[in-house]
Structure 1
Amino acid sequence: MMNENDRFARQDKFRQPVSVAARSTVIEEHLPEDLTGLSSDEIGEMVLELRAHQIELEMQNENLHRTQAALDASRALYYDLYNLAPVGYCTLSEAGVILEANHRIAALLGTMRGTLIKQPIFRFIHREDQDVFYFHRKRLLESSQPQQCELRMLTVDGTLLWMHLNSNATRDEAGTVMLRITLNDITERKRFEDELVAARKLAEQAVLVKSRFLAAASHDLRQPLQAINLFNDALIGTGLSDEQKQISGHLSQSISSLNELLNVLLDLSKLDAGIIKANPEVIEVEKFFLRCDAEFSPITKRKRLSFRLCFPLKPMAIIADRELLRSLMGNLIFNAIKYTQQGGVLVAIRRRGTKALIQVWDTGIGIPAEHIHSIFEEYFQIENPERVRRRGLGLGLAIVRRQAKLLGTEVACRSRPGKGSVFEFSLPLAIEAQEEVPPQNAIDRAIVEAYKGRRIVVVEDDAMVANAIKLSLESVGMCVAVFQNAEEALSDAETLKADFYVSDYRLPGLDGERFLENILKRSTKPFRAVLLTGDTTPGWIEKARRLRWPVLFKPIDLPQLLTTIQSQAASA
């Protein structure tokens, strides 16, 4: 039998807060080999200790089961998230070997998941995109920052797929570098992008073809119109009867209408070709809008419409290209007048922070909501399916849209059918206005007097056009020599004695530019010259801007020709 001290020592050992395994060891060490020597109290205490030990074991076993269940649930969740994810997942070694892959990437590549393991990922990357992945992996390893890229991959049967890769570099417990990558199939998105690019190219080609067609049609029409216009100018100066003057007036109106059409087509060609550039300047609002009043008030009075301007009393200036703005405003105001039968037109400008809001209001027929966006397209007209010429061409707002873009703004429209419309756009405000240059008169009689008795050489291969130019110039007292080509003109000794030269650009043999260059080399006196052309293709329009001499686009009239010659500095 153990003494009292031994019994208390054993009980103290049992009561110490040790682990279950340690307590089992303690109990085993203190169990006597012969239990017969224990008293009933000692045996009872030992049973209690063993019972407590058993309960604790059962509790820990229950905790262990719960932990195992949670671990199993976590593994199942990981399986669902990783293996059944709608995007491809894979883990690569630093060298690019596939260590782990989910079902989605296996399905995308058309194979089983197990066959991907230990395969180099380069095997599935398109050969032209191998460098893309190489540099993607290189940046990932060097920066340790997430990286993205897009590349083409191949399935086992050779089908091409576009993939978007998101990659991260990590290390496992042993410190080994691993690359974790998500792969999204973007093949459909790329197909849509390619279709969009193709559609854009097709649209650009269509615009180019349209511009070339318009330019070609314009060129073919300008030649005879040029002759008709100049013949009519010459006819007016021959002393016509009243009836003949009336017929000539109608002819002038017809020429003007056709000339307007050709000029509109030329403007479209220039805008589409990017030839017209905006040259912003400071414009004083009051002067600019009073000019609009002077131009359009007579028109509205004839239609018995009101025409009002609304702008601040305080000085106000805007920044814009003057000619572009004048043309844009003219188109908007003219449209407003054309489609308004009663009421009137209001042109307003208001401050809006650092911008000026410019509006053209009318009380016209209005525009149905479904047509608001269509009105800025070429040849679109409301209530004119028969294409009645007096109602216009349907090109004004198409030009307005292009002009507004050059001015860095956009024209918006609000309308109520039967009530009217408002067109508006914004331009930047300026601090102060510059003095506006007054417009030139159509023709100055002093200029005409200056041409009397002067010599002018005309080189034109179209006999009808040449004769028309000759008659027009002779009507103001000029001495005119006409040649059909440059070589013929250069072979005549009198050619170098001329004061002025007018040449068609497109001639058989030497063209008009080279003809004038020859004159420049040989002539010992200053002279002025003008080139004529009916070609309005975008490439030629751009070239014309770089020539030494001014270029006029056919058809021209006599005032335009004389003013252009007079306005340039003489070449010497």
Structure 2
Amino acid sequence: MRHVLKTHQLMTTLGTRILLTMILTWLGAAAAFASGDAVEQAQVGLMESLTTSPWALLIALNIMLVLAGLFYVRSLKKMVQKRNQLLEETSKELHSLFDNMQETLYRTDLAGRIIMVTPSATKLLGYTSQELTHSQSADYYQQPEQQKTMLDILAKEGVVSNFRVALKRKDGHIVWAELNAHFFHDDEGKPIGIEGTLESIHSLKLAEDTEREARLIAEEANAHKSRFLAAASHDLRQPLQGMRFYLDVFADQLKGTPHLEMLAKISKPLDDANAMLNKLLDVARLDAGGVELNTQLFNLSEKLRDIYGQQLVALTKPKVHLRLDLAVQDCWVNSDPVLVKELIHNLLSNAIKYTEKGEVVLALSMKNNRVRISVRDTGLGIAPSRQEDIFHEFVQVGNAERNREQGMGLGLAISRRIARLLGSELKLVSELGKGSAFFFQLSSVDKRSDATTTQATAQLAKPTPLEGKLIVTIDDDAMIRESMGMLMKKWGCEVLSCWDLASANDALQQANRLPDAIISDFSLQGERNGIEVLDMLMKQAGKKIPALLLTGDSSLEMMERSATSGYPIVHKPISPEKLHRFLSQSIR
């Protein structure tokens, strides 16, 4: 028994020593590991303890697990430190971006109370973020209806994009901004507020307002110019009309005498003045919107052949060769044939005028259903600095002396307006000393079938002799009444010359018959204009009588009223031939 007890004491003492040795070794290894010493020291201590006793094996395994845990904790600590450093750097970058961004980010609740706003709001509105937070967004709208409109769009579409608003700054000034907004939601998807951006567009808005104001001023100036041209042309046409009628009557009396040639020379400057007024009238009518498109389908190639033939006959410069170049022999367009012809005629006349030798080419080409009509010449050419000026009124290149034989400088101004009315743009390519090329484009269409290409041609009525026909003329200008009366009496007409409705009624009552035709000026003294006078005479006659309106007024109001009157209208001065043709084809 005593032997057993000694053996037990020996084993206990040995186990305790081994355990103490292992603990001390483990503590040393852990201290070495924690202090960052080489892991090898811990491994050496562990191996020594393992060789001390087999009983240490279980303890050694536990110690290894503890060491592994310590190693993991250390690695995790380093990882957390590194990520904290990265988060701190990212946070600084985000705060810098947040503080310096140009756009203002904001959030409001559904009641419009501002929850959050970025510091850039200070630059936009003059308030700090702290001053804006918890205030009502409605307080900053200069036009409350803009906020209502924005909220209506947001409720309907769920998003607002590029919505312009006028906002009130802290200093009392107004600033324009562009707003974008959408709803933000809670975890259940229910909208709980509005978030979006505000960006200043104040400089852009000021520039747009300045441009709009300048455009309005230019349009008003253009309208004043058009009204002046209309009034001036009316006042000038009256005497020209009288002179034209007198000269025609005088020409009959001078037939067979040497004085007839002198009369023809007198008529030439009169015709020049009439042409100038017609050009001025064209400009005024185009600017006033008084020219309407009469769109129809026609053969453009055939139209160009006709224009080329007319210009070729009229060409008087032996050193200038006029050439037609049609890449498409049968090209159809849907446009206004009268305005197209006038535009091309103006361009050809202008090219011939400024070309002393060489050639002028009228060309047609087509690409992707777009027809290009061009007029090229080998004339003077135009310097780059003058290429825009020539489209302005009364501007001519190489005619500083204002030689009337070279025109008045209105052709290209009219041509550009006509091109725009046709939905095109007149363009120019030119080199000084080498020539110029003007061109515009139209859309081509497919050629129609034979059944639809046949166009009814207007059949002119057989002229009616005017002898014995009763014509009423109404004009408040005594010279016009007298000269027109003399002209129509020469044709064998009976003429009642009147100045208003009352005088016309008196004259017709004395004549005791209805007139065969009535010719009235539009602008008459008194309360009634020419349209109203014609309407009253038609009503009193109980039937429609051939009637013609004459006018020197080219105002937009006059053109609009005459267009709806149902009466044909001719601008003064009307030629005797045209007046005779109207009467002989209208009277039955």
TM norm structure 2: 0.83
Give the AA of the match of 1:505: F
1:501 to 504, 513, 518: 518
What are structure 1's unaligned runs of at least 5 residues?
A: 8-37
Deviation for aligned residue 1:279: 1.9
| Closer, same or farther: CA 362–141 of 1 in aligned 2, 3 Å | closer
Cα–Cα, structure 1 residues 536 and 440, in superposed 2: closer, same or farther, change >3 Å? farther
CA distance in 2, matches of 1:139, 1:68: 44
Shift of 1:341: 0.4
Counterparts of 1:142 and 1:286, CA distance in 2:
55
Q: 1:357 is matched with which residue?
A: 372
Alpha-carbon spacing, 1:297–1:436, altered in 2? closer, same or farther (3 Å): farther
User: Residues 384-395 of structure 1: matches in 2 within 5 Å?
Assistant: 384-395=399-410
Q: Which residue of 2 aligns with 1:535?
A: 553
CA deviation vs aligned residue, 1:507-544 (integer Å, no higher than 9, x gap)? 23343333323332333676322222211111101211
Which moves more between the two structures, 296-305 or 409-418? 296-305
The question of whether the paired residues in 2 share the 8 Å contact of 1:236 and 1:245 is answered with yes
Give the CA deviation at 1:263.
0.8
* Structure 1 residue 205, shift from structure 2 partner: 1.0
Equivalences for 1:281-300 in 2 at 5 Å?
Answer: 281-300=296-315
Name the structure 2 match of 1:236.
Answer: 251
Residues 170 and 178, structure 1, Cα contact 8 Å, conserved in 2: yes
Cα offset for 1:138?
A: 5.5
Inter-partner Cα distance in structure 1 for 2:258 and 2:403: 28
TM-score by length of 1: 0.85
Answer whether contact 1:106 1:116 (CA < 8 A) is retained: no
Deviations 1:189-222, CA, capped at 9 Å, x for gaps = 1111111211121121111111100000001101
Please list the CA deviations of residues 394-440 of structure 1 after superposition, one character each: whole Å capped at 9, or x if unmatched: 11111111111222222222122222222222222233374678899
Matched residue type, 1:166: N
Secondary structure of 2:424 counterpart: coil
* Contact kept in structure 2, 1:283 and 1:436, CA below 8 Å: no
For residue 442 of structure 2, give the secondary structure of its aligned residue in structure 1.
strand
Alpha-carbon distance change, 147 to 338 in structure 1, aligned in 2, over 3 angstroms: closer
Local SS of the residue matching 1:237: helix
Deviations 1:226-275 (A, max 9, x none): 11111111110113465421221112111111111111111112212222
1:356-401 Cα distance to aligned partner (Å, 9 max, x none) = 2222121211122222233222222112233332221111111111
Residue 202 of structure 1 is matched in structure 2 by 217
Cα displacement (A) at 1:468: 0.9
Gaps of 5+ in 2: 1-11, 20-53
Tell me the residue number matched to 1:559. Answer: 577
Alignment deviations for residues 452-477 of structure 1 (CA, whole Å, 9 cap, x no partner): 22222222221111111111112222
Is contact 2:308–2:362 with CA below 8 Å preserved after alignment? Answer: no
Of 71, 86, 109, the residue aligned with 1:70 is 86
Contact 2:115–2:133, Cα closer than 8 Å, also in 1: yes
8 Å Cα contact 1:139/1:147 also seen in 2: no
Instruction: Give 1:41 deviation, angstroms.
Output: 6.5
Cα distance change, pair 138–306 in 1 and its aligned pair in 2 (3 A) = closer
Count of matched residue pairs: 534
Deviation at 1:88, TM superposition (A): 1.3
Report if the CA contact (8 A) 2:328-2:366 is conserved: no
What is the rounded CA distance, in whole Å, between the counterparts of 1:428 and 1:514 in structure 2?
Answer: 42
Does the aligned pair in 1 maintain the 2:153–2:160 contact within 8 Å? no
Aligned to 1:550: 568
Residue 144 of structure 1 and its aligned partner are, at CA, apart by 4.8
Root mean square deviation of aligned Cα: 3.1
Distance 1:135 1:333, change over 3 A: closer
**In 2, are the aligned partners of 1:305 and 1:343 still within 8 Å (CA)?**
yes
In 2 relative to 1, CA 459–279 (structure 1 residues): closer, same or farther, beyond 3 Å?
Answer: closer
Residue in 1 that maps onto 2:429: 414
- Is the alpha carbon distance of 1:171 and 1:317 closer, same or farther for their aligned partners in structure 2, counting shifts above 3 Å? closer
Q: Does 1:516 align with 2:534?
A: yes
**Residues 142 and 418 of structure 1: CA distance in aligned 2, closer, same or farther (over 3 Å):** closer
Q: Which residue does 2:286 correspond to in 1?
A: 271
Q: Which amino acid aligns with 2:178?
A: H
Are residues 82 and 146 of structure 1, via their aligned partners in 2, closer, same or farther at CA, if it must alter by over 3 Å? Answer: farther
1:122-161 CA-to-partner distances (Å, cap 9, x unmatched) read 22222x2x34334534654675546442211112222211
Report deviation, 1:174: 9.1
Structure 2: how far apart are the matches of 1:359 and 1:177?
65
- Match 1:132 to one of 146, 151, 174: 146
CA separation of 1:155 and 1:464: change in aligned 2, threshold 3 A:
same
Quick check: 1:381–1:394 contact (8 Å CA) kept in 2? Answer: yes
Contact kept? 2:500, 2:533, Cα under 8 Å: no
Change (3 A) 1:138 1:427: closer
Would you say the 8 A contact 1:533–1:552 is kept in 2?
A: yes
Equivalent positions of 1:296-315 (< 5 A) are 296-311=311-326, 314-315=329-330
| Mapping 1:141-160, distance limit 5 Å | 144-145=158-159, 147-160=161-174
Q: SS of the counterpart of 1:469? A: helix
Report the CA distance between 1:43 and its aligned residue.
6.5
The CA deviation at 1:223 is 0.7
- More displaced stretch, 98-107 vs 166-175: 166-175
Give the equivalent residue in structure 2 for 1:344. Answer: 359
1:334 & 1:174 partners in 2: Cα distance? 78
Larger mean CA deviation between 337-346 and 284-293 belongs to 284-293
Whole-Å Cα distance in 1 between the matches of residues 375 and 168 of structure 2?
59
Following TM superposition, by how much is the alpha carbon of 1:332 offset from its aligned partner in structure 2, in angstroms?
0.7
Higher Rg of the two aligned structures: 2
Q: 2:196 matched to 1:181?
A: yes
Candidates 302, 323, 329, aligned match of 2:344: 329
CA distance in 2, matches of 1:286, 1:151: 54
C-alpha deviation, 1:46, in angstroms: 5.6
State how far apart, in whole Å, the 1-side matches of 2:362 and 2:577 are.
32
Q: 1:163, 1:187 within 8 Å by CA — same for their partners in 2?
A: yes
Residue of structure 2 in register with 1:163 after alignment: 177
Equivalent position of 1:16 in the other structure: none
Pair 1:370-2:413 in alignment: no
CA contact (8 A) 1:136 1:148 kept: no
Specify the SS of the correspondent of 1:464. Answer: helix
CA–CA distance in 1 between the matches of 2:194 and 2:301? 69
Residue 485 (str. 1) matches residue 485 (str. 2): no
What is the DSSP-based 3-state SS (H/G/I as helix, E as strand, rest coil) of the residue aligned with 1:261?
helix
Give the Cα–Cα distance (whole angstroms) in 1 for the partners of residues 456 and 386 of structure 2: 39
Q: Distance in 2 between matches of 1:168 and 1:500?
A: 72
Structure 2 vs 1, CA of residues 417 and 330 (structure 1 numbering), >3 Å: closer, same or farther? same
Cα distance between partner residues in 2 of 1:114 and 1:329: 70
Q: Does 1:86 align with 2:99?
A: no
In structure 2, C-alpha distance between the alignment counterparts of 1:143 and 1:461, rounded to whole Å? 65
Identity %: 27
Q: Quote the residue 1:123 is aligned against.
A: 139
Q: 1:316 aligns with which of 303, 306, 331?
A: 331
CA distance in 2 between partners of 1:424 and 1:440 (Å) = 35
Aligned position for 2:125? 109
* CA–CA separation in structure 2 for the residues paired with 1:42 and 1:206: 107
1:398 is aligned to 413
